[in-house]
Amino acid sequence: MSTELPTWITATELADAATITVVRDGDLTRVAEAFGAHGEPFAASDPSVWELVDDGVPLPWGVVAALEGGVVVIEPNGWVGSTPEVLASASVGGLAVAVYWNVNMLTEIAIVEDGVALGGISDMQVHTGARFDEVVRDVRPVPSDPDPIDAVAWGLEAQAALARPVVDGALWSRLADLSTAYRFREV
């Protein structure tokens, strides 16, 4: 079992809560539409993004970028990518792996292929099936009784193995400085 989040996460604004979604072979337009991306793009590193609130509640936003092999969506303090409807739409024609955690270490790991949920870890319960097992066969076994940190660690490993591009600290730093962030529709 893991005891902490990877250093590249804990050293950034993603430490408390985030959703990282990678869609292998994803279409940028389709993924952006699935998340409800709208408005002018902005840099995630702009301090004013933390002022995107309504009645003290953070408004959903995230980085959306097409890179070699797929599309990545990184939501600091966000959750849109953890919803089944968004993942089903975003994954059409590809395979999506979404990893969500919040400040209370509630976690959600989902693998969705061409609009169909294959399985993952939800509320610390593992959900699998024949296609899920086939897709994740080259990833270490899904923890049978995962703690929240191990669930996130397994999800990030599954992302790296199954869906390109691989998200790490260098990629997050690069994308955060570009105008690749958008407001998302509220879910």
Distance CA 122, CA 119 (A): 9
CA-based torsion, 129, 81, 73, 177: positive or negative: negative
**Domain boundaries along the sequence of the chain:** 7-183
pTM to 2 decimal places:
0.94
- Single-letter code of the amino acid located at 76: P
Tell me the H-state helices in 40-103: 84-90
- Single-letter code of the amino acid located at 95: L
DSSP calls for 138-171: TSPPPPSS--HHHHHHHHHHHHHHHSSSPP-HHH
Confidence of residue 69 (pLDDT cuts 50, 70, 90): very high
Confidence of residue 105 (pLDDT cuts 50, 70, 90): confident
Distance CA 75, CA 65 (A): 12
- Looking at residues 8-31, what average pLDDT do you find? 95
- Looking at residues 21-47, what average pLDDT do you find? 96
> What pLDDT does 4 receive?
77
> What pLDDT does 3 receive?
61
- Looking at residues 172-182, what average pLDDT do you find? 96
> What pLDDT does 169 receive?
92
